[in-house]
Amino acid sequence: MSELCIVRCNKNMNPTEETYKPLTAAYDFLNKELFDSKLPTCLITMQRKGKAKGYFHAESFETRKKQDIKIHEIALNPTYFKDRTDDNIFSTLLHEMVHLWQEENGSAPRINYHNREWSNKMQEFGLMPSNTGQEGGRKTGRSMSHYILQGGKFDALIKKFIENNAILYQDRPVLKITVSKKKNKIKYICQKCLLKAWGKANMKLVCGTDNVELVSAEGGESEK
């Protein structure tokens, strides 16, 4: 049995709990340290959605028995966990938490827009908004990323947090296997005049000029 199979069959592992535990812990930690624990609880999900590293949806869930209870959602895209450090992944969580804060306490803009209020709050917490994710990018707009300000609030807080709350899992790209389609027709050729003809495999074709049987050009002589 391969090592991969042994790990996969380990009954002591709980990938669901181990995946969401550091994310929910990070939400509670950042809520306490940066928002004075004033943000409401929300549902954190994993969503492979386009090119977005994460998103916030206001009141996208409701309880099944009491439908008057609405729950906000923060989604993180595991596709972008690979090759990113834990502090960068948690910075995406904070990015979406600022959207949640704005929904609850600020002036939430139209959907998918990042306005100045959101931008200022991000900078207060040590994340610099940037539409390119690099220095010099626009600080407001529709499609926005950010980068961590070294020495800022978030940078100092998250370094202590991730010591005991590492992210354990990331998206595993699935290799796509391309299956070549079987050719309906193959090429035959006359070895004297180089006449070419196409037909199904195992056909017997004869050159009318040289009166010789055509051979398959697909590697070897056609079967008789």
Distance of CA 48 to the CA centre of its chain: 5
In the structure encoding, which two tokens stand for residue 37, read together? 């624990």
| pTM for the predicted model, two decimal places | 0.74
Burial string for 126-153 (b: 16+ CB within 10 Å, else e) reads: bbbbbbeeeeebebbeeebbbbbeeeeb
Q: Residues 1-28: pLDDT tens digits?
A: 444 444 555 678 899 999 999 999 999 9
Instruction: Quote the CA–CA distance of 158 and 90 in Å, as a whole number.
Output: 8
Model pLDDT for residues 134-183, shown as the tens digit of each residue: 999 999 998 899 999 999 999 999 998 999 999 999 998 877 666 656 66
Cβ–Cβ under 8 Å, residues 129 and 139: yes
Do the Cβ atoms of 44 and 20 come closer than 8 Å?
Answer: yes
Chain centroid to CA 118: 24
Q: What is the pLDDT of residue 64?
A: 87
Q: What is the pLDDT of residue 224?
A: 30
pLDDT at 107: 82
Q: Residue 60 corresponds to which amino acid?
A: S
Higher pLDDT, 183 or 192: 192
Per-residue pLDDT tens over the stretch 43-65 = 999 999 888 999 999 999 999 88
Please answer whether residues 31 and 24 qualify as being in contact, where contact means their C-beta atoms are separated by less than 8 angstroms.
Answer: no
- State how far Cα 145 lies from the chain centre: 15
pLDDT, tens digit, for every residue of 70-94? 999 999 999 999 999 999 999 999 9
